[in-house]
A and B are shown apart, each in its own frame.
Chain A
Amino acid sequence: MSRKDESQRDPSISDLDSLQQRIEARREKYRPKQDKAPASAWSLGMRYGSEFFGGVLVGGALGLVLDYFAGISPWGLMAGTMFGFAAGTLNVVRAAREIGSESQDE
């Protein structure tokens, strides 16, 4: 980039702007069709799996804690697992929505 006279600030700024535009244009030209790295099926499955697994695990653990302190074994575990199942499903739905909106942007 050629160095301009310091006193002429406006032209140099517009120079920079046009340079920025040119850079953007070239970036756009060379941008790969699919911007995001292709999510491999394995990592996608891992994602859904861990989301669901986490929900059930936490639900069951909370149920067990409730059992221990309230002395209502096995009902806490049963109800907790059910709620954990629901929470896991919610997690999966959210993850799917995120991934869906990501691929829609492209």
Chain B
Amino acid sequence: MADTNPIKQFEVHELVPFEAFGLNLAFTNSSFFMVLTTVLTIVLFSLAMSSRALVPNRSQSVAEIIYGFVADMLRSSAGAEGLRFFPFVFTLFIFILVANMLGMFPYFPAPGAHSFTVTSHLIVTVALAMLVWLTVIIYGVFKNGPKFLKLFVPSGVPIYILPFVTLIEVISFISRPISHSVRLFANMLAGHILLKVFAGFIVMLGAGLGAGGYLLGIFPFAMTLGLTALEFLVAFLQAYVFAVLTCIYLSDALHPGH
């Protein structure tokens, strides 16, 4: 009977053991998929843009549409000034999108021979969210100086509740990277577990009931089919949501006075 453990797909195992300064810095299948995501993005975009035609062909159109999509997103939530963050937001969006899409391969000719979704690990999404959060703080302080603290002091609040409101604003600000990262991580994790559980039902029915079980297996198979389509939507949607929230947070760094 095939392995139907729905959690197994998230296992991280070492491919190239490496240790330095007492830390385990092995190259894992997670690192492999991150490198693959980056290389694939660079190669695909280079290929798509290689003709540099005024009238784009199909692949160049796709690249230009993605470019325009992210630029519009950034412009609408952070203003024209926000476009200086375009490379940052574009990189985040593409990295998450390609990593999510790579995770949708049911089988992958990779070490360990199973697909792996980088963004279904909290440590990866936390690293991305902290990157955004620290960028907001560092750039906000660098650009606005002490005026950046206005972010925590909303205008038009009576003085006697101002300390409480400020405290709540500070907590709300600190909680940003948590909600930012947990959302992406939980969506990917839950979606992939659900897929694997329903796919596992097919195998279990077949192994348990023989030929009749395989006939019954049509139902979980239909479910898996539908869920796969849904997961593609989620993979895109979560990359989009992550990028939109990044834009909104970056706009706070640019205009802290609300």
Known: A1-B54, A50-B179, A54-B179. A43 touches B237 (CB 8 A): yes
**In the complex, what's the smallest C-beta–C-beta distance from A99 to chain B, in angstroms?**
11
Chain B residues with Cβ under 8 A from A91's Cβ? Answer: 172, 175, 179
Contact B175 A57 (CB under 8 A): yes
Q: Which residues of B, 155-189, contact A by the 8 Å Cβ criterion?
A: 164, 167-169, 171-172, 174-176, 178-179, 182-183, 186-187
* A37 beta carbon closer than 8 Å to chain B: yes
What separation, in Å, do the CA atoms of A62 and B178 have in the docked complex? 14
The A-B contact count (CB < 8 A) is: 74
Contact A50 B237 (CB under 8 A): no
Contact B187 A51 (CB under 8 A): no
Chain B residues with Cβ under 8 A from A40's Cβ? Answer: 230, 233-234, 237
What separation, in Å, do the CA atoms of A90 and B234 have in the docked complex? 26
Chain B residues with Cβ under 8 A from A90's Cβ? Answer: 168-169, 172
Contact A37 B175 (CB under 8 A): no
Mark interface residues in A65-106 (1 if CB within 8 Å of B CB, else 0): 000000000000000000110111011001000100000000
Query: Closest residue to A94 on the B side, CB-wise?
Result: B172
Residue count of chain A within 8 Å CB distance of chain B: 26
Chain A residues with Cβ under 8 A from B183's Cβ? Answer: 46-47, 50
What separation, in Å, do the CA atoms of A62 and B168 have in the docked complex? 12
Query: Closest residue to B181 on the A side, CB-wise?
Result: A50
What separation, in Å, do the CA atoms of A58 and B164 have in the docked complex? 15
Contact A1 B248 (CB under 8 A): no
| A interface residues (Cβ-Cβ under 8 A, vs B) | 1, 37, 39-40, 42-43, 46-47, 50-51, 53-55, 57-59, 62, 83-84, 86-88, 90-91, 94, 98
Chain B interface: which size bin? 20 to 34
Contact A87 B172 (CB under 8 A): yes
Chain B residues with Cβ under 8 A from A84's Cβ? Answer: 171, 175
What separation, in Å, do the CA atoms of A46 and B178 have in the docked complex? 13
Chain B residues with Cβ under 8 A from A94's Cβ? Answer: 172
Contact B175 A54 (CB under 8 A): yes
Chain B residues with Cβ under 8 A from A88's Cβ? Answer: 172, 175
* B240 beta carbon closer than 8 Å to chain A: yes
Contact A55 B175 (CB under 8 A): yes
What separation, in Å, do the CA atoms of A55 and B158 have in the docked complex? 23
**In the complex, what's the smallest C-beta–C-beta distance from A78 to chain B, in angstroms?**
14
**In the complex, what's the smallest C-beta–C-beta distance from A45 to chain B, in angstroms?**
11
Contact A87 B55 (CB under 8 A): no
What separation, in Å, do the CA atoms of A39 and B234 have in the docked complex? 9
For this complex, 8 residue pairs linking A to B, each with C-beta atoms less than 8 Å apart, are A37-B237, A50-B183, A53-B178, A54-B175, A55-B171, A57-B175, A58-B178, A90-B169
